[in-house]
Amino acid sequence: MKYIQAEFSGPLNGTVHIPGAKNSSLALLAAACLADNIVTLEGIPRIDDVRIIADIGRDIGMKLRQDGGQVIIDPRWIHSSVIDPGKASSYRASYYFAGALLSKFGRVTIGLPGGDNFVSRPIDQHIKVFKALGAQVHLFKDYYEVEAAELKGADIYFDTITSGATINAMLAAVLAKGRTQLHNAAMDPEVCDTASFLNQLGARIYGAGTEHIRIEGVSYLNGGTHTVIPDRLIAGAFLMAAGLLGGQVTVMDVIPEHLGSCLAKMEEIGMYVECGESQITAFGTNSLKATRIRTGMYPSFATDLQQPMTALLLQAKGKSIVTDRVYPKRFAHVPQLRRLGAEIELRQESAFISGGRPLQGGWVHAADVRAGTCLLMAGLAAEGSTCITGVEHIERGYEDVIGSFRSIGAKLSMREMDAQEHLSQIRESH
């Protein structure tokens, strides 16, 4: 069993090149199924979720070849719309295949979405989209079926802002007959990136990035080339790492506008930030101030950044409060941080952090990718060694987490645990 060993590293300094966005890549790879010719996607990260999509693609006949950060997809050979439930349930964004394949095949069978477990990942808004466009949805224990003889444009009012359902609605509506209008749509950069890609193939999507998106159905999509946007969530975590012990970190190949709320909060707690056209430098000051964070949908502070921000706020003297209303149960990292000496109290959807207290290394477990980032950061600021299990969750989102953190001076290494050590850790955790 693998684990990551983190040592106290002092101030982190250096430069990190940011890869393509995971959340955008998962949508783009499924969206490529809609094309009627070869598609080339640039900047796709080599992460576990992408490998699962490649497996699913091969199962249904999609030809996919990854060469470095370039993925070449030939969707013309897709012969099936039945997605292996086991593979679909291993990552959250599998539901995009439903939207992408429905108009071509009339019926899609797919496993219920999995991935990081934040207690409930409802797909009710996705179901609402499919039904509004004229499809029937049948739910079973481990999978669901969506079928429609024909998809017709509709006015769709989302009950809550949801990036996944907004993207799925665009995928399903681009080949539907007539006009589809989405109201209360998500404004995330990943939504805009998916719309930009589809438009390049010949779709007619207007208003992506606003609350109202209009899709005029077309009869087919061409092939084309598209470069995925950079991963704002990975960039935000590395910038926060500069604040742990007063370092200086530059992230390259980013779009600063995508990190507006994150950068504002970093400056609020006492860090300095300088933005260029495609790079950001963050400076730590050794005098961080406590604050209050409330997550929300873009452009508010991202739920995916509350965990790394929690690690940073452990260094801020005073009481900070982190409230997550997007995923109120997304606090699996808190009991693990307590094992390192952190003083954090959980009440409903909020974590109350007493910062400025020394951390001591120990054994912790990452339950999801962002929790893993949080524990890595805490481990780099803790005295002694911190050993992090659950590496498979971290590798779902990072192409080379060890190499990336080492490039800014982090003392990290990947280790192997033998069976006896593993057993003793299980006993200790209980």
DSSP assignment letter at 47: -
List, in sequence order, every residue forming a beta bridge with 117; answer none if it has no partner.
Answer: none
- DSSP, collapsed to helix, strand or coil, labels residue 364 as strand
Length, in residues, of the chain: 430
**What is the per-residue DSSP string for 199-252?**
HHTT-EEE-BTBSEEEEE--S----EEEEPPB-HHHHHHHHHHTTTTT-EEEEE
- 116 part of the active site: yes
The answer to whether 208 touches 180, Cβ cutoff 8 Å, is: no
CB 169 within 8 A of CB 212: no
Helix 22-31 crosses helix 189-200 at what angle (to 10 degrees)? 30
* Binding positions for UDP-N-acetyl-alpha-D-glucosamine: 92, 121-125, 304, 326
Q: Which three-class secondary structure state does DSSP give residue 323? A: strand
How far is residue 321's CA from residue 409's CA, in Å, rounded to a whole number?
Answer: 29
Instruction: Given the residues 116, 188, 324, 368, select the one marked as catalytic.
Output: 116
Burial of 202 per CB tally in 10 Å (0-12, 13-18, 19+): middle
CA 230/CA 172 separation, integer angstroms: 25
Q: Which residues are annotated as a binding site?
A: 22-23, 92, 121-125, 304, 326
**Catalytic positions:** 116
